[in-house]
Amino acid sequence: MLPINLAGKRALVAGVADDGGFGFAIAKCLAMAGASVSVATWPPALTIFRNLLERGKIDASRRMPDGSLLEFERIYPLDAVFDTLDDAPAELRESKRYKDTGDFSIGGLAAQLVADFGERPLDIVVHSLANGPEVKKPLLEVSRGGYLAAVSASAYSMVSMLQRLGPLMRSGGSLVSLTYMASERAIPGYGGGMSSAKAALESDTRTLAFEAGRAWGVRVNTISAGPYASRAASAIGIIDRMVQYCKANAPLPEELSAMEVGQAAAFLSSPLASAITGHTLYVDKGYHAMGMAVAGWSDVVAGTAG
């Protein structure tokens, strides 16, 4: 038997605001493997997420194989477009949804982790963060501000997190992020500069793998997940069609589950993947391997694919 064993490891999963996305599934899988897990949540969603937990609204999703409920060691506020609190505009810091959260910047998160757990408290960091304010616009219509915002929130945030959290990670640690194959192929409807942001994230994964490996002995990998109809992904506008198209054309004609991505992240975070870094791991039922469609949009819409 060769189990994934993360007992004694501490993980931080950034980008968990409900039980419906990859971030939550990754957090659950890490906990199932024995890690203690903290999460970081976007401040406007923080109160809602805490209420979901306190009122038992997501207890079914939190249920572990042994019958217990998934518990988070800490829940931190994080707006990853800000490296320091001073970078956030005063009107945002003083707004209703931010003013009582404390230092919600990446630097503030790093400082709080040290305050809570000591100088090098982390073994695993998961970057499950992406946002493109103009994601429904084709690239030809995207503004400079919208494009840069997508890259900032979805790609540079990983660089900034590793700059500040890398020194807090123990040797042998792992950072895992999430990407999508629009980084390398045109996906009509996935706009707003998000394809460029994912391409940047994958390139940065390779460079950071070298730099973080030499600096702290930390591995850096990314998972290229197939489309999944999470609440966050609904912003794309065509996510259901994307899911059905990939299901119809993948070697394994099935819908991807969030737990399948969570299990892959747990593997990459474990000693079983100790020689893997700088890698993009496809978890998409094999869709990335296809060079020709076997079902078109019309087949998917008509329900005749399969």
156 catalytic? Reply is no
Both tokens assigned to 138: 């084709």
Helix (H, G, I), strand (E, B) or coil at 41: strand
The per-residue pLDDT for 300 is 62
Q: What is the pLDDT of residues 219-239, one digit of tens each?
A: 999 999 999 987 777 777 788
The per-residue pLDDT for 229 is 83
76 catalytic? Reply is no
Both tokens assigned to 83: 């490296």
> What's the CATH fold of domain 10-302?
Rossmann fold (3.40.50)
The per-residue pLDDT for 2 is 86
Residues of the chain with pLDDT under 50: none
Q: What is the pLDDT of residues 255-265, one digit of tens each?
A: 999 999 999 99
The per-residue pLDDT for 294 is 86
Q: What is the pLDDT of residues 186-215, one digit of tens each?
A: 999 899 999 999 999 999 999 999 999 999
The per-residue pLDDT for 267 is 98
- The beta strands (E) that lie in the chain are given as 10-14, 36-41, 75-77, 122-127, 169-179, 219-225, 280-283
Which of 76, 147, 180, 245 is labelled catalytic? 180
Q: Please give, one letter per residue, the 3-state secondary structure of 264-281.
A: HHHHHCCHHHCCCCCCEE
Comparing CA positions, the residue from 43, 34, 121 lying closest to residue 78 is 43
CA dist 185 and 172 (Å) reads 33
The per-residue pLDDT for 297 is 61
Task: Name the helix (H) or strand (E) containing 92.
Answer: helix 90-93
**CA–CA–CA angle 100, 103, 108 (5° rounding):** 160
Instruction: Classify residue 271 as exposed, middle or buried by CB count within 10 Å of its CB (0-12, 13-18, 19+).
Output: exposed
The per-residue pLDDT for 155 is 98
The per-residue pLDDT for 237 is 72
Both tokens assigned to 117: 């757990």
Q: What is the pLDDT of residues 22-36, one digit of tens each?
A: 999 999 999 999 999
Residues 223, 179 contacting (CB under 8 angstroms): yes
Comparing CA positions, the residue from 100, 93, 21, 88 lying closest to residue 61 is 21
> For the chain, how are helix, strand and coil distributed in percent, rounded to 5?
45, 15, 40
Q: Which residues pair with 127 in a beta bridge?
A: 14, 177
User: Is the four-CA dihedral 232, 20, 9, 225 of positive or negative sign?
Assistant: negative
